[in-house]
Amino acid sequence: MKPRIFVSSTYYDLKHIRNNVERFISQYGFEAVLFESGNVFFEHDKELDISCYNEVKLCHMMVLIIGGRYGAPSSEEKQNEFVKKYEKNYISITRKEFKEAIDNNIPIFIFIEKNVYSEYHTFKKNKKVISDLLKEPDSNFKFAFVDSSNIFDFIDEVKVKAISTFEKFEEIESYLKSQWAGMFYNYLIDQIKEKDKNKIFDEVSELHNISERMNEMIDQIGKSILAENGEYEDVVKRQNVKTVSYYTNKIFEYIKFDDMAMLSQEEKNKIFEITEHFVDVVLNNSAVYSENGKFLDTDFIFGDLDQKIKNSINTKLKQIDNGLQIESMDLYKIYETYSTKLKPLFDNNGLESLFKETLENLFSKQLVLPF
């Protein structure tokens, strides 16, 4: 399938430019999509411009050319009573095509006639004076190179992208050649990087597989040697204690506090309550686990939970000191670490208590300034 490039502009004032652009695009083996060439599918039961917007969605790139004519209003604008009456501020078909390309994240190459762009800068520098003149009922004010001040609003809108000015088609041709060569170069580099990435991934996977097999072998050897002395379970427990400590600290790194405070002994005792509250409200929140207790590994649930949970914990913190507040929490990373690294270790072996104790100590260090 050929890459499809939509050519967007007003027609009559830029007809020859459009013809040249179509020829240039075809020379590259791409398909140029222009309504006058018959490769826009017009749906019989819809306005003609609607078919153009739908065609934009099916294209891979857009070439947008802005000249001195603003163009006819889109079919949506034709229904607008203000436009019908005053025919001043409206969205043209070309402008609507640009919006459609933006909404669909389609690469756009934008060209503006040099005289039009010069007049745009003149208008911007004298906008209030010119706008007042245009508002006068009997005003005969005319621009030298454009038929409507709407063009200047359009240029304001397209300037979020890179633009290029032109006087003749050859300048458009030269710019497109350079840009497409750059795109092709980036594509080749990305392909090379992807190949290297896949190679690295395969090698890492192979090393991971070897590592797992070695760990299994060492584990079996350790069992046979240490079991004789009754030390195996003790070694495993010590390793699990280190694991709990490490990942509890990781969880705490994902919490950002606004402030610290100097607490009395009575207030320090309440840190235990904060820890318990954090475990209940955050880590054991049923909204992020399935019925069988499996972590729901998805981002969408955290948007609603984030503020709710933060407010709940901050309310608890205020009971101790008004200056203590959590600024932010990376809930996704907290849940992922807790559910995949810590929870599997909790099995009536005292490790859950160790986790809470470690968490309480971390809260103490964060919330209490040394005397």
**Whether 159 and 12 share a structural domain:** yes
Residue 334 lies in a domain: yes
Residue where the block lists tokens 């083996």: 29
Give the other-Cβ count within 10 Å of 14's Cβ: 20
Q: Are residues 153 and 26 in the same domain?
A: yes
Q: Please report the pLDDT score of residue 69 as a whole number.
A: 94
Residue 12 covered by a domain: yes
141 lies in the same domain as 41? yes
Residue 307 lies in a domain: yes
Helix ranges (DSSP H) in the chain? 15-27, 48-57, 75-78, 81-86, 93-103, 114-125, 127-135, 150-158, 169-229, 232-253, 265-269, 271-278, 302-318, 331-337, 351-367
Measure Cα distances from 339 to 125, 242, 280, 284, 335 in Å: 60, 17, 14, 10, 6
Flag whether 204 is in a domain.
no
Say whether both 153 and 260 belong to one domain: no
Domain span at 342: 231-367
Q: Of 144, 167, 190, which marks where a domain is finished?
A: 167
Domain count across the chain = 2
Q: Residues 114, 18: one domain?
A: yes
Are 250 and 155 in a shared domain? no
| Same domain, yes or no: 160 and 52 | yes
Tens-digit pLDDT profile for the chain (371 aa)? 788 999 999 999 999 999 999 999 999 889 999 988 887 777 767 788 888 898 999 999 999 999 999 998 888 766 555 554 445 678 999 999 999 999 999 999 999 999 999 999 999 999 888 888 887 877 788 899 999 999 999 999 998 888 999 999 999 999 998 888 888 878 777 777 776 666 666 666 666 565 556 556 556 666 565 555 556 666 667 777 888 888 888 888 877 766 555 555 566 566 667 677 777 766 766 666 666 666 665 554 555 565 666 677 667 666 655 555 667 777 777 777 887 788 787 775 678 888 888 877 877 776 654 44
Strands 61-66 and 4-8: parallel
Residues 48, 134, single domain; the answer is yes
Q: Are residues 157 and 30 in the same domain?
A: yes
Residue 39 in any domain: the answer is: yes
Q: Are residues 159 and 14 in the same domain?
A: yes
Q: What is the CATH number of the domain that holds 77?
A: 3.40.50
Q: Is residue 186 part of a domain?
A: no
Give 240-245's long-range contacts (Cβ < 8 A, gap of 24+). Answer: 240/345, 240/349, 240/351, 241/351, 241/354, 243/341, 243/345, 244/342, 244/345, 244/351, 244/354, 244/355, 244/358, 245/354, 245/358
Domain boundary among 121, 136, 167: 167
Q: Over the stretch 314-371, which tens digit does the pLDDT of each residue have?
A: 676 666 555 556 677 777 777 778 877 887 877 756 788 888 888 778 777 766 544 4
| Residue 226 lies inside a defined structural domain of this protein | no
Copy the structure tokens of residue 332. 């996704």
* Residue 209 belongs to some domain of the structure: no
Domain end call among 125, 142, 167: 167
Q: Same domain, yes or no, for 161 and 81?
A: yes
135 and 262 belong to one structural domain: no
Q: How far apart are CA 326 and CA 4, in angstroms?
A: 51
